[in-house]
Structure 1
Amino acid sequence: MRNPIVKGFWDAPTGSWQYVFHDPDTMKGAIVDPVLDFDPLAGATSTKNAERLLDYVRETGIDLVWVLDTHPHADHFSAAPWIKAQTGASTAIGEKVTGVQTLWQGIYNLPNDFPTDGSQWDRLFADGDVFMVGNVPVKVMFSPGHTLASITYVAGDAAFAHDTLMMPDSGSSRADFPGGSSADLYASISAILDLPQDTRVFVGHDYAPGRDDACEASVAEHRAANIHWKDAPTEAEYRAVRDARDATLALPKLMLAALQVNMRGGRLPDAEDNGRAYLKVPLNYFASR
């Protein structure tokens, strides 16, 4: 089995990690969870992060074949369609994204003809699917809990575990978004940490509690030191900790903007008759939950 070279790119405004990985033999590569920049005060998008990723791809000589979303993010916009337009690389996400689209179609009161079939991506992956990036096999693991559509990409010895796990000193991610479940999250973490001990686990976020930003820890390191896992909690014990923590958290500041973009595969809503696109905010919906 060939293992990939992985390069992480940190986006400080959203606390997000983006990744480029490639096969050193064939130089085929993929991008995971690219960020489309958004200034909520100006209502302005830009491609600074995506351009940074493509600069690395070009400088390294990578032939980009995939742009991979792990789930519809709540804290940043996806740059997948912009990167596809620049490179021709195919886009993909897990097949359960259709459930997220249906759920948020109702929250945003979108018209009945809004597509909820995942057709905004080129490929919808099912649990257990395997595809190749050059000579690197990539297995798809359905990893719900943080969202109902989350997947993990296991590329050789590298697992891109999105927002299921944080770095060991931060534990795991929240499970209280619409469609989330701490029970599902417990099962997903269990499956990821059943991978070989030397598997490199790459996380989707880091909030750097008193240290430099970091994105990688091995399965063995998570089992030994992850603050939500090192004592081998039962499902009930884990859920009690996770649910109590989630009850104290505010919604991500970009969530209500990000979901209506990311459920479209990273595209902005269609422009209205004045040529401008608009984002909707469901007033008081989450305040009553």
Structure 2
Amino acid sequence: MPYVLDPTRGLSTTTPSHTAASTSGQTSSILLKRNVPPAEPWRRHISPDAATPTVFTFFEKATSTWQYIVVDPHTSDAVVIDPVLDYDASSGSITTQTADGLLSFIEHERLTVRRILETHAHADHLTAAQYLKQQLGQHIPVCIGQRITQVQKTFAPKYGFDDPSVFDNTFDCFFKDDEEFKLGQLCCRVMHLPGHTPDHVGYLIGKAVFTGDSIFNPDVGSARADFPGGNAEDLYASMQRLLSLPTAYRLFVGHDYPQDRDQTCWSTVEEQRERNKHLKLGTDAETFIKWRKERDAVLGAPKLLHPSLQVNIRAGKLPPKDAQGRVFFKIPITSEVDV
């Protein structure tokens, strides 16, 4: 039986007032009137040089996801990377507490968001990209790597997205490999980092790299590569590409799963070369690929797999309403019996 969302409400379910989009500048006046407190960053990584951004890092505990607000210190222009939309699978409710905290932080810091960046079509959390776009202004593009169209074609038939128009007005920008764009005075470069998923990209800005799930902290190692289009050989090559960067560069990861330590969002390339538990410097391709495939073969599916993909391949939009105005998440099944 599919999960049922409240059909009487839109994307935002915390209060009816959230359905109104902010179209004048970057002010989230709705949030200010409601006194939504700004999210408190886990760390404030102040820009170390003229080419590297200031990075505010936010850990979403329910899905162990790192969200980033990345700022050009010269202009206060910003991008938001991999924001989370709150979803309770047991009740089918979607709320915006996490995203509202980010919005309030943006307002209190007087930042101007220029883009919302996704590293890939996540299978373990719902993206808040579309909600942030509604609140910050419809002119702000939601961006992802160009191979998201491959992921959309793979999963559209699984969830009954048979009409191609369901992908209209979802993602606004499809980055090409090694494409560059500006964040204020900073230069940003898109890195295609496939393996975990085929569409996966990272963002290189000065000496900071936002890696998504292409590499994890050294004591966590690497992400699975068994999703459709995933590939352990490609993951090895992507991790090696990250390890080939200058040793002082910081790799900001998409998730963290700490054991016996506090969560952390980054490590240096040098630390990854020396200590990555799955692929440190000198690990040969055959050893890594064999281990990764064997490990993936015994992993269960992420608990939010189906809700996440149905939202994330549409840039954060919920599934289309049915004729009665209801919204459902669909769960594909296989069965050996016809009952």
Per-residue deviation, residues 3-26 of structure 1 (Å, max 9, x unmatched): 100111111111111100101111
Amino acid at match of 1:93: I
Tell me which of 216, 224, 232 is aligned to 1:174. Answer: 224
CA displacement at 1:231 relative to structure 2: 4.8
Amino acid at match of 1:63: T
CA displacement at 1:109 relative to structure 2: 3.6
Per-residue deviation, residues 107-160 of structure 1 (Å, max 9, x unmatched): 2243143556x7511110011100011111110011110001000011111101
Q: Partner residue of 2:275?
A: 225
For residues 39-50 of structure 1, the aligned pairs below 5 Å read 39-50=88-99
CA displacement at 1:230 relative to structure 2: 2.1
Amino acid at match of 1:232: G
Q: Measure the CA separation in 2 of the matches of 1:73 and 1:230.
A: 25
* Alignment check: 8 A CA contact 1:105 1:114 kept: no
Q: Measure the CA separation in 1 of the matches of 2:124 and 2:58.
A: 16
Q: Partner residue of 1:272?
A: 322
CA gap of 1:112–1:275, structure 2 versus 1, over 3 A, is: closer
Q: Partner residue of 1:189?
A: 239
Tell me which of 122, 132, 135 is aligned to 1:86. Answer: 135
Amino acid at match of 1:284: T
Q: Partner residue of 2:109?
A: 60
Q: Measure the CA separation in 2 of the matches of 1:83 and 1:253.
A: 24
Q: Partner residue of 1:30?
A: 79
Does residue 218 of structure 2 align to residue 157 of structure 1? Answer: no
Q: Measure the CA separation in 2 of the matches of 1:53 and 1:279.
A: 26
* Alignment check: 8 A CA contact 2:166 2:320 kept: no
Q: Measure the CA separation in 2 of the matches of 1:115 and 1:101.
A: 10
For residues 11-160 of structure 1, the aligned pairs below 5 Å read 11-88=60-137, 89-115=140-166, 120-160=170-210
Q: Secondary structure at the match of 2:68?
A: strand
Q: Partner residue of 2:13?
A: none
User: Aligned Cα RMSD in Å?
Assistant: 1.4
May I ask how many residue pairs the two structures share in their alignment?
284
Q: Measure the CA separation in 2 of the matches of 1:246 and 1:78.
A: 24
Flag as ranges the 4+ runs of structure 1 deviating above 4 A.
none
Q: Measure the CA separation in 2 of the matches of 1:278 and 1:112.
A: 16
Q: Measure the CA separation in 1 of the matches of 2:260 and 2:148.
A: 35
Q: Partner residue of 2:40?
A: none
Q: Measure the CA separation in 2 of the matches of 1:100 and 1:178.
A: 8
Q: Measure the CA separation in 2 of the matches of 1:53 and 1:136.
A: 22
Q: Measure the CA separation in 2 of the matches of 1:232 and 1:77.
A: 36
Any stretches of 5+ residues in structure 1 without a counterpart? none
Q: Secondary structure at the match of 2:156?
A: helix
Q: Measure the CA separation in 2 of the matches of 1:239 and 1:12.
A: 30
TM-score (normalised: structure 1): 0.95
Q: Measure the CA separation in 1 of the matches of 2:242 and 2:280.
A: 14
Q: Measure the CA separation in 1 of the matches of 2:241 and 2:56.
A: 24
Does residue 329 of structure 2 align to residue 248 of structure 1? Answer: no
Q: Secondary structure at the match of 1:212?
A: coil
CA displacement at 1:67 relative to structure 2: 0.5
CA displacement at 1:193 relative to structure 2: 1.5
* Alignment check: 8 A CA contact 2:87 2:94 kept: yes
* Alignment check: 8 A CA contact 1:35 1:76 kept: yes
